[in-house]
Amino acid sequence: MAIPTPHISAKKEDIAKTVLMPGDPLRSEFIAKTFLKNPVLVNDVRGVHGYTGEYNGKKVTVMASGMGQPSIGIYSYELYNFYDVDAIIRVGTCGSFHPDLHARDIIVAMGACTNGNYAMQYKLPGTFAPIADFDLVRRAVEECEKAGVNYKVGNIFSSDTFYDDANSGMDWAKMGVLGVEMESAALYCNAARAGKKALCICTVSDSFIYPEENTTAEERQNSFTAMMKIALNLA
């Protein structure tokens, strides 16, 4: 496919080898303008903001994915396969199922369960288990320890539905799944197929255990800086 792609208007040299990928375009803008030196807007197709700048002397791109597996599936596929990106680190939000995780704590998603059919395209004779890159997981844990944040490493649930008629979220908790979001499984599938690296780091924005701690949209956009710094240090 030619560059620019249907969804990314950047030139190939405009995109760094490591991309931080929040879901929210406004969080992408916040990260770029708060932490990057000389950030430049390199993509704005469909309002999906992508910025490239420097962090501690390294070239880094921050670009939004939108919501859901189909959306991150498109952007991460094009970044891996057409822009030669080596690693994508999702910096997202999630709902927590675990009693030891409170609002603003962090989940490092070692694996991603899903109720979606994204992996069916590979026509495998069984069920594919999407997992993160181990080196990124290991380094993320080290950064969490340095930052002194409360975190857990484990499975996350990538749901295709936000409003779940069956209300099945807590069913996943009995299998040790830590929380729910909507993107990681597709990202991990694309990374596996492309032979590239991926990791999802999520800040707990909502809790199924402690609903009184749930955060606002503005807080989710602008205040989860511990996760952002951890991801930037990985990049």
Prediction pTM value: 0.95
φ, ψ dihedrals at 78, nearest 5°: -65, -40
> What is the reported pLDDT for 122?
98
**CB neighbour list of residue 221: distance below 8 Å, 6 or more residues apart:** 24, 26, 27, 30
Q: How confident is the model at residue 203 (pLDDT cuts 50, 70, 90)?
A: very high
CA distance 87 to 228: 16
HSE-CB at 91 with a 13 A cutoff on CA atoms is 37
φ, ψ dihedrals at 159, nearest 5°: -100, 140
Angle between helices 69-81 and 184-194 (to 10 degrees): 20
CA distance 187 to 67: 12
Kindly state the greatest CA–CA separation across the chain.
Answer: 49
Which residue has better confidence, 214 or 63?
63
Per-residue pLDDT at 41 exceeds 80: yes
Burial of residue 65, with CB atoms counted within 10 A of its CB: 0-12 exposed, 13-18 middle, 19 or more buried: buried
Q: Could you confirm whether 171 is annotated as catalytic? A: no
Distances (CA, A) of 125 to 73, 79, 112, 119, 122: 22, 28, 19, 11, 9
**75-131: pLDDT as tens digits:** 999 999 999 999 999 999 999 999 999 999 999 999 999 999 999 999 999 999 999
The full DSSP string for 127-166 is: ----B--HHHHHHHHHHHHHHT--EEEEEEEE-S-SS-TT
Percent of the chain with pLDDT over 70: 100
Angle between helices 134-147 and 225-234 (to 10 degrees): 130
**CB neighbour list of residue 143: distance below 8 Å, 6 or more residues apart:** 229, 230, 233, 234
